[in-house]
Amino acid sequence: MASEAKLSHTSAIILQAIHAGFIYGFSIMEMTGLPSGTVYPAMRRLERDRLIRSHWERQSIADAEQRPPRKYYKLTSEGKSTLSASRRRYPLLERLIPFSEAKSV
């Protein structure tokens, strides 16, 4: 698949971070250590390539917690298969961001 072959290391890390549960921009920044000017554009491209999709948090939840609503990101089925292929290409990816780490942020 063309998108699998072209996925850069940064994009693969972001994809792995979202898969691990870091589902909004700032948390991905915190987890990966990448600057905002890298993380957000990469997420736009992933979303354009239909590897991730976004949705807005419900206003009622945000209101209950007295904060603005957030935009969350989620892997698509295509994104999951691309991530699997990327893990084969970058074997350390899973070790860099294990699935359980999301709970700590």
Partner 1 sequence: MSLSYSGFAWVQRELLTCASWLAPAAQRKEWKQEWLSELWHVAQARMPAGSGSWKAHEQITRFCLGAFHDALCLRTMSWRDKKPLVSWSGSPLQCLLLLCAALAVAYGISLLLPGVRAESRPSNYQVNPNLVLIQGARTPDDSKATIPIQQFRSWKERKQEYFDGFAFYRIAAEATSTSTSERTTLNVAHASSNLFALLGLAVRYDEPAVEAGSSTPAVILCDRIWKTEFGENPHIVGSLIEVGRRKARIAGIVPFGSWRLPGQVDLWLLEPDSEIPSGGLGYALAHLSRRGQSEVWTRRVHITEYEGDYVTGDLWGVSFDERTRGPGGIFLFTVLLALLCLPAVASVSMSESSFSSHRPTWAKRIRRWAFLCAKICLLLPIVYFSSLDLAYWHTPLYSAASQYMQLISSFTICLFGMRWVMLDQRQRCPVCLKRVTHPASVGLASRTFLAWNGTEMICTDGHTMLHVPALPTSWFSTQRWLYLDTSWRFLFVAPGVEGGA
With respect to partner 1, which residue has the nearer C-beta, 24 or 90?
A: 24
User: Candidates 5-13, 34-42, 82-90, 93-101 — which segment interacts with partner 1 by CB under 8 A?
Assistant: 34-42
Asked if 17 and 73 touch (Cβ cutoff 8 Å), the reply is no
User: Candidates 12-20, 36-44, 79-87, 89-97 — which segment interacts with partner 1 by CB under 8 A?
Assistant: 36-44
Query: Cα(28)–Cα(44) distance, rounded to whole angstroms?
Result: 14
Q: Can you state the percent helix, strand and coil of the chain, rounding each to 5?
A: 65, 10, 30
- How many CA atoms, within 13 angstroms, populate the side-chain half-sphere of residue 105? 21
With respect to partner 1, which residue has the nearer C-beta, 45 or 53?
A: 45
Q: Which stretches of the chain bind partner 1, using CB under 8 A?
A: 24-26, 29-30, 35-41, 44-45, 48-50, 67-71
